[in-house]
């Protein structure tokens, strides 16, 4: 069995601040890239800008509507002609442009994306169709309560603007002008703070030169200032006539750059990250309370959270919430077992190795590692950190889950549940 250990990771920082990271994957014919722009929905609130909620999403669509020498149709056609699968979307922290194609088409695809980033037409007449689209998207979110509750959970758990939902709000989208959108793009589509991860069939010197040529004259812009507002409320209910009650919890955990990172990941995984994890066993399997239940880890640079989710019928929702809270309390009180830690390790290592085999997933991991750590972790480093965990060290970390005053609980459905009070 040959390994994928023979890849090399290259990096280069251009003078305008753009960071390029690349991994040549032997035996792979595809190539993928992820470009993280520091232009997520949180930056809609930047000092001196403060545009409506939804600007990041509208701009991510606007830049595809004609750029460089190509109009909207020619641009999409050119990407399709190169067999490029692509997406352009805003999240809370970043606007992410990503693409996958054959290695031989990588450079041509990057050229089109450079036009979108540096030379979008941003025509006024495109604003109304884009506004209509984004309002449709918000309506479809109303028909998708499981996704909506997680957006609303983040909004309440993280201090504003770090929980700002990227799809925007109806009022925000309705009131954004072309001038607002241009101002947003000008301020935040900047190379300082941008990270381009590329993986697959690549030729490093050539890639570095191409990226330099394509993105070299991109002008840096000042780092925006954001004004942070307190999070909350910690307990809330959204009334909707849904069939199921959606239950969502969030609790603070260690960030990716913290010394506690691997302990936090292990604790979250043991609670609800694999098929025999505690939440799954107690909520789904033993009691049949709901079909899907999980806990996941989600990090920003300066804060991170464990998110837990379950959706169930009204008559089972109170019990489901209580079992979830009970498992959180038990994790804090009793810690984790050696065999659970082994299982968590096996799962994380196996998914790491599998992710290592996909150019798309690797390009995203390169960019994300750089964002969090300013470097890319070799897979061996991650494996060693997982190996160093002990039941005692993880149990010790899990004690932090006992403090329910930092817990955010949000439900969505016809009627609220009874929650433990927030301190």
Of residues 157-216, those binding its own copies (CB under 8 A):
201
Alpha carbons 333 and 155: distance in angstroms, whole number: 29
Distance CA 57, CA 168 (A): 7
Output the smallest distance, CB 404 to its own copies, in A.
Answer: 26
- Contact between 16 and 216 under an 8 Å Cβ cutoff? The reply is yes
Site for its own copies contains 241 (CB under 8 A) = yes
Terminal alpha carbon distance of the chain: 55
User: For residues 81 and 239, which CB has a smaller minimum distance to its own copies in the complex?
Assistant: 81
Closest CA to 320 of 404, 236, 423, 409: 409
Measured from the CB atom, the residue of 171 and 257 that comes closer to its own copies is: 171
Of the two residues 107 and 370, which places its CB atom closer to its own copies in the complex? 107
Residue 228 as a binder of its own copies (CB under 8 A): the answer is no
Tokens of 68: 């460089």
Burial of 235 (C-beta count, 10 Å sphere; 0-12/13-18/19+): middle
Binder of its own copies out of 8, 50, 77, 390 (CB under 8 A): 77
Which of 17, 146 has the CB closer to its own copies?
146
Q: Is the CB of residue 106 less than 8 Å from the CB of residue 86?
A: no
- Give the E-state strand segments of 243-292 in sequence order: 245-253
| Residue 86 binds its own copies, judged by CB under 8 A | yes
| Residue span binding its own copies (CB under 8 A) among the ranges 27-35, 205-213, 230-238, 369-377 | 27-35
Nearer to its own copies, 233 or 288 (CB): 288
- Half-sphere exposure of residue 74, counting CA atoms within 13 Å on the CB side? 11
Q: Which of 45, 92, 244, 299 binds its own copies (CB under 8 A)?
A: 244
Cβ closer to its own copies: 108 or 118?
108
Sign of CA dihedral 323, 294, 421, 143: negative
Strands (E), 173-275: 195-200, 235-239, 245-253
Q: Least CB distance from residue 321 to its own copies, whole Å? A: 15
Binding mask 303-332 for its own copies (x = CB under 8 A): --------xxx--x----------------
CA distances from 1 to 4, 30, 351 (A): 10, 22, 18
Residue 320, token pair as written in the block: 């489901």
Give yes or no for a contact between 194 and 91, defined as CB atoms under 8 angstroms apart.
no
How many residues bind its own copies, per CB under 8 A?
83
347 binds its own copies (CB under 8 A): yes
The reply on whether position 76 binds its own copies by CB under 8 A is yes
| Contact window for its own copies (CB under 8 A) among 14-22, 211-219, 268-276, 367-375 | 268-276
Look at residues 107, 366, 83 and name the one whose alpha carbon lies nearest to residue 211.
107
Q: Which of 22, 42, 90, 100 binds its own copies (CB under 8 A)?
A: 100
Residue 286 binds its own copies, judged by CB under 8 A? yes
Specify the residue, 158 or 280, whose C-beta has the smaller distance to its own copies: 280
Does 142 interact with its own copies (rule: CB under 8 A)? yes
> Considering beta carbons, is residue 361 or 393 the nearer one to its own copies?
361
Residues 40-59 that bind its own copies (CB under 8 A): none
Q: Is position 80 an interface residue for its own copies (rule: CB under 8 A)?
A: yes
Nearer to its own copies, 27 or 374 (CB): 27
Query: What distance in Å separates the CA atoms of residue 353 and residue 359, rounded to the nearest whole number?
Result: 12
Yes or no: say if 311 and 246 are a contact pair by the CB < 8 Å rule.
yes
Q: Least Å distance between CB 142 and its own copies? A: 4
Residue list 351-380, contact with its own copies (CB under 8 A)? 351, 353-354, 356-359
Query: What's the CA gap between 299 and 278, in Å, rounded?
Result: 22
Alpha-helical regions (H) of 15-126: 55-62, 72-81, 106-118
Residue 411 in contact with its own copies, rule: CB under 8 A: no
């Amino acid at each position: 069995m040959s390994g994928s250990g023979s890849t090399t990771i290259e990096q280069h920082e251009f003078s305008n601040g753009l960071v390029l990271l690349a991994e040549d994957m032997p035996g792979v014919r595809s190539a993928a890239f992820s470009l993280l722009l520091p232009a997520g929905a949180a930056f809609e609130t930047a000092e001196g800008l403060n545009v409506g909620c939804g600007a990041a999403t509208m701009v991510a669509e606007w830049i595809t509507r004609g750029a460089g020498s190509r109009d909207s149709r020619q641009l999409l056609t050119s990407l399709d002609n190169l067999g490029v699968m692509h997406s352009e979307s805003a999240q809370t922290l970043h606007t992410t442009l990503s693409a996958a194609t054959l290695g031989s088409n990588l450079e041509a695809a990057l050229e089109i994306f450079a036009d979108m980033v540096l030379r979008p037409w941003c025509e006024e007449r495109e604003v109304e169709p884009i506004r209509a689209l984004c309002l449709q998207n918000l309506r479809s979110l109303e028909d998708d309560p499981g996704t909506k509750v997680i957006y609303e959970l983040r909004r309440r758990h993280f201090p504003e603007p770090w929980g700002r939902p990227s799809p925007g709000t109806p009022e925000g989208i309705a009131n954004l002008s072309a001038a607002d959108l241009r101002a947003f793009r000008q301020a935040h589509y900047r190379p300082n703070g941008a990270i381009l991860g590329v993986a697959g069939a690549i030729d490093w010197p050539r890639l570095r030169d191409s990226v330099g040529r394509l993105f070299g004259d991109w002008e840096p812009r000042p780092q925006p200032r954001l004004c942070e507002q307190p999070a909350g409320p910690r307990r809330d209910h959204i009334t909707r006539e849904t069939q199921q009650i959606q239950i969502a919890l969030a609790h603070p955990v260690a960030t990716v750059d913290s010394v506690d990172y691997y302990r936090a990941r292990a604790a979250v995984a043991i609670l609800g990250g694999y098929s025999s994890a505690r939440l799954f066993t107690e909520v789904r399997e033993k009691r049949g309370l709901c079909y899907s239940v999980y806990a996941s880890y989600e990090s920003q640079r300066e804060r991170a959270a464990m998110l837990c989710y379950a959706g169930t019928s009204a008559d089972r929702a109170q019990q489901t919430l209580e079992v979830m809270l009970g498992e959180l309390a038990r994790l804090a009180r009793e810690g984790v077992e050696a065999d659970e830690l082994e299982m968590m390790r096996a799962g994380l290592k196996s998914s790491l190795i599998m992710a290592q085999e996909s150019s798309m997933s690797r390009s995203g991991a390169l960019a994300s590692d750089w964002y969090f750590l300013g470097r890319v972790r070799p897979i061996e480093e991650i494996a060693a950190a997982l190996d160093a965990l002990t039941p005692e060290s993880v149990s010790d970390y899990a004690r932090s889950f006992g403090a329910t005053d930092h817990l955010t609980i949000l439900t969505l459905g016809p009627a609220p549940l009874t929650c433990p009070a927030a301190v």
